[in-house]
């Protein structure tokens, strides 16, 4: 496996390896501080980022390398240079490329035309590095045995919903996504891909439109912003009205399991997708989740650059 272009690229074994390495990097950040010595990692983002950018730059530094951050309009891509040519050029300087942008197909094209590992740092369709941080955090809360547990995401059927379904499928989990349906449902192709993995992993996938049913007895209640980067601003009022019943309130949390946790990839909008008393309450693990963005990106870089991930075998 050369690249991490989408969550579904990972095998169960890859995820296990990455989670274990991330747990090591959580305790000992400088355990492999010469893995990228004298090397650079390009981080190219055409959307804003707080966590992914800072976690990526910190991860590269902890591995002994130097990050090169490139903003969307810095490159000649904006003046017509092709993605393929750009990919070849970056491959000549850097040891890996982390890319955050809109279209998944642009990330795929960068991967296909690079000789270095390309890592998806979020697209409109997926957010694989986030899900690894989420699952290290889940493992810290519940251990390795997740049998009988239900992992629920409520809200918009966006990139996070897709990634939640896919990673849950890879982990063999009982994973639930509840959205208002229609325009806010997860993409059919993403659901189908998760179902295909679930058939082999033994995961149970449920796509619902009832937030209470989804929250009932869940071990994890996860949500994300209702307006994602790139969502048309003129749709805000309609979208927020449709999603209002999916807000994570104390009442919704009360339906979950007695040892449940609240998760959110952040940034959060208190009073919108989540009530302040939930996200700032005792069941919330958001700071640990955010902390693990660095440990997991460090693990991805470490193993991808060494060619130690096998790729999806589902």
- Which are the catalytic amino acids? 100, 127, 130, 224, 265, 293
Answer with the entry of ligand NVA, ligand CP, none that 50 interacts with (C-beta below 5 to 8 A by kind).
ligand CP
Answer with the entry of ligand CP, ligand NVA, none that 228 interacts with (C-beta below 5 to 8 A by kind).
ligand NVA
CB 40 to ligand NVA: min, Å? 25
Strand arrangement, sheet containing 204-208: 204-208, 174-178, 150-154, 220-223, 261-264
Answer with the entry of ligand NVA, ligand CP, none that 159 interacts with (C-beta below 5 to 8 A by kind).
ligand NVA
Answer with the entry of ligand NVA, ligand CP, none that 158 interacts with (C-beta below 5 to 8 A by kind).
ligand NVA
CB 285 to ligand NVA: min, Å? 16
CB 127 to ligand NVA: min, Å? 6
State the burial class of residue 80 (Cβ atoms within 10 Å of its Cβ: 0-12, 13-18, 19+): exposed
CB 47 to ligand CP: min, Å? 8
Residues that bind ligand CP (CB under 6 A): 49-52, 122, 130, 265-267
**Contacts of residue 148, Cβ cutoff 8 Å, sequence gap at least 6:** none
By beta-carbon proximity to ligand NVA, the closer residue of 236 and 306 is: 236
Return the biggest CA–CA distance within the chain. Answer: 55
By beta-carbon proximity to ligand NVA, the closer residue of 114 and 273 is: 273
Rounded CA gap, 98 and 120, in Å?
6
- 234-242 long-range contacts (CB < 8 A, ≥24 apart) are 239/156, 239/184, 240/272, 242/180, 242/182, 242/183, 242/184
């Amino acid at each position: 496996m050369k690249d991490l272009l989408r969550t579904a690229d990972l095998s169960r074994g890859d995820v296990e390896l990455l989670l274990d390495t991330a747990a090591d990097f959580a305790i000992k950040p400088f355990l492999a501080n010469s893995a990228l010595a004298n090397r650079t990692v390009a981080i190219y983002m055409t959307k804003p980022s707080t966590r992914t950018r800072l976690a990526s730059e910190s991860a590269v530094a902890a591995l002994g390398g130097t990050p090169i951050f490139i903003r969307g309009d810095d490159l000649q891509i904006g003046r017509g240079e092709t993605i393929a040519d750009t990919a070849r050029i970056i491959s000549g300087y850097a040891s890996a490329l982390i890319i955050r942008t809109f279209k998944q197909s642009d990330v795929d094209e960068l991967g296909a035309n690079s000789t270095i590992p390309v890592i998806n740092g979020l697209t409109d369709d997926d957010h694989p590095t986030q899900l690894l941080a989420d699952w290290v955090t889940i493992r810290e809360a519940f251990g390795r045995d997740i049998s009988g547990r239900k992992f629920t995401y409520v809200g918009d059927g966006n990139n996070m919903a897709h990634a939640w379904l896919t990673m849950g499928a890879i982990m063999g989990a009982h994973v639930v996504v509840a959205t208002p349906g229609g325009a806010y449902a997860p993409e059919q192709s993403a659901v189908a891909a998760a179902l295909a993995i679930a058939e082999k992993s033994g995961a149970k996938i449920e796509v619902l439109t009832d937030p209470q049913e989804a929250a009932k007895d869940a071990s994890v209640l996860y949500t994300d912003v209702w307006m994602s980067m790139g969502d048309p601003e003129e749709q805000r009022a309609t979208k927020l009205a449709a999603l209002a019943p999916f807000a994570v309130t104390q009442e919704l949390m009360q339906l979950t399991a007695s040892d449940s946790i609240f998760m959110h990839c952040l940034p959060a909008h208190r009073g919108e997708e989540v009530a302040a008393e939930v996200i700032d309450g005792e069941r919330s693990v958001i700071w640990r989740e955010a902390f693990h963005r660095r440990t997991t990106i460090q693990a991805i870089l470490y193993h991808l650059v060494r060619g130690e991930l096998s790729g999806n075998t589902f």
